[in-house]
A and B are shown apart, each in its own frame.
Chain A
Amino acid sequence: MSVTMLERKTAPQSLRGERESGEQHVAQDVDATLATRYRESLRSFLADGSEASLSRGYELARQALVDDCGVLELAEIHHLALRRLSAESPPDARTLRAAGDFFAECLAPFEMSHRGAQEGARALRHLNEVLEGELRRVAQVLHDEAGQLLASVHIAVADIASELPPKQRGRFKMVGGLLTQIEAGLRNLSHEWRPTVLDNLGLLPALEFLGEQIARRTGIGVSVIGDDGARLPTTVESALYRIVQEALNNAVKHAAAGSVHIELRRLPAGVRCSIRDNGKGFDANRQPQGLGLTGIRERVSTLGGALRIITGPLNGTTIQADIPLGD
């Protein structure tokens, strides 16, 4: 024998008949079958006060959670059920207390899920830190070891070239030129992945440095202003740096922006970073795929922050990330 499993939601059409006059105003998306079952379980618990009735309530709520019912939706269902039962027979204090116990029982699966979500967010933050650490390590190796090796090769090539007749020297010079390009490419890559200036000097100087690099590489105008206050927590600095990097990428690649303005401001209990471009914007209702906005959103939500995106066709785009500080 197995634990009582509740049936899945039935099709909405079959529910309408069950919806009774007192519940006309139940929001369309409230599952009326769930509401009816909840009310009947509550009714039986109020009548017998048994553990069996509580157990049914738990199973009902557990399945509701699996079926994507929200906690406020469940509260609404409880409220309506209690109102309906109260209309049938006015409840005394004991009954009201029992109804509260039943509701608490039904919230237990949501409590577990809530704790799971908190744990997930913590794990995600940790994962981000680990990734940043890895990136820093790779960037360092790229910069230090690969950079030095290339420099040695460069010198060796130049040495050999100097001993050759002028005609062949020209071809070695070309090799030297290519090596210089590779060196510059590697340096840029390692700076972008993990700019030492972010570790050493902080977010604002790092953003200024990033802005300069992007401006030099792409020709767009990048301005950076902000409060040069105390250092922020490493996770916040890293996240905001990546957010600006992604937003700049978007401005260059997708928005064809001519200029980007980056602003970093302290809030009473947090920090606000906004990136405004004068590019072509996009229809906020039909968010284009692959714009890196998902990544930005993830980073912001991992830190418990809020993200605003203000845009419209031909209106440019402003991305504003507010990150709370202090826990």
Chain B
Amino acid sequence: MGRPAFRTMQEVCVPVSSGHDLVTARREGRDMAVQLGFSACEATLVATAITELVRNIFIYACQGEIYLSMANEGAKSGMTVIAVDQGPRIADIDLAAQVGYSAAGGIALGLSGIKRIMDEFAITSECGRGTAVTVTKWRRR
């Protein structure tokens, strides 16, 4: 079973290039979510987001990394997942967010699905520097 590339108190990085790595990223993400006080149900949604992010990496690039970290903003606390890959620049970001939508025949999985189960969603894509998708889920207070 794969291992994270590094782990600090605040951050875990899992390189992903295979189905095994996907499982590692999911496990690390779920563990962190539970440690941060998310309910089992919310932790499942975090694992779901990680799965869809990794699937997305495999669509555009062969490999990438998943960064998991605590998130804080004012009184809110939660968890951030960042998916990074070195794949070709996504030419049309808005269109890319609909990839899951079209690929799954209007079922709204993929990136568009992640948007709905997480609280924050941002995607940046720069020429030569790959793509980063950042999602955050806040803890219910």
Q: CB-nearest residue of chain A relative to B114?
A: A112
Known contacts A51-B26, A54-B26, A54-B47, A115 near B116 by CB under 8 Å: yes
List of B residues within 8 angstroms of A127 by Cβ? none
Q: CB-nearest residue of chain B relative to A62?
A: B109
- Say yes or no: A3 contacts B108, CB within 8 Å: no
Q: CB-nearest residue of chain B relative to A4?
A: B19
For the complex, would chain B's binding face be called helix, strand, loop or mixed by DSSP majority?
helix
The minimal Cβ–Cβ distance linking B71 to chain A, given in whole angstroms, is 21
Considering only residues 105-151 of chain A, those with a C-beta below 8 Å from chain B are 105, 108-109, 111-113, 115-117, 119-120
Interface: A93 (CB within 8 A) = no
The minimal Cβ–Cβ distance linking B133 to chain A, given in whole angstroms, is 16
- Say yes or no: B45 contacts A111, CB within 8 Å: yes
Identify B54's interface contact among A3, A52, A108, CB under 8 A: A3
Identify A55's interface contact among B22, B62, B114, CB under 8 A: B22
Given the complex of chains A and B, what is the CA–CA distance between A111 and B22 in angstroms?
20
Interface: A174 (CB within 8 A) = no
- Say yes or no: A113 contacts B55, CB within 8 Å: no
* Interface range for A: 20 to 34
List of A residues within 8 angstroms of B105 by Cβ? 66
- Say yes or no: A58 contacts B107, CB within 8 Å: no
For the complex, would chain A's binding face be called helix, strand, loop or mixed by DSSP majority?
helix
Given the complex of chains A and B, what is the CA–CA distance between A115 and B45 in angstroms?
12
Instruction: Write the A159-198 contact mask toward B (1 if CB under 8 angstroms, else 0).
Output: 0000000000000000000000000000000000000000
Interface: B51 (CB within 8 A) = yes
Given the complex of chains A and B, what is the CA–CA distance between A109 and B44 in angstroms?
11
24 A-B residue pairs with CB within 8 Å = A1-B62, A2-B58, A3-B54, A3-B55, A4-B19, A50-B23, A51-B26, A52-B1, A52-B20, A52-B23, A55-B51, A65-B107, A66-B105, A66-B107, A108-B45, A108-B47, A111-B48, A111-B117, A112-B117, A113-B107, A113-B109, A115-B113, A116-B112, A120-B108
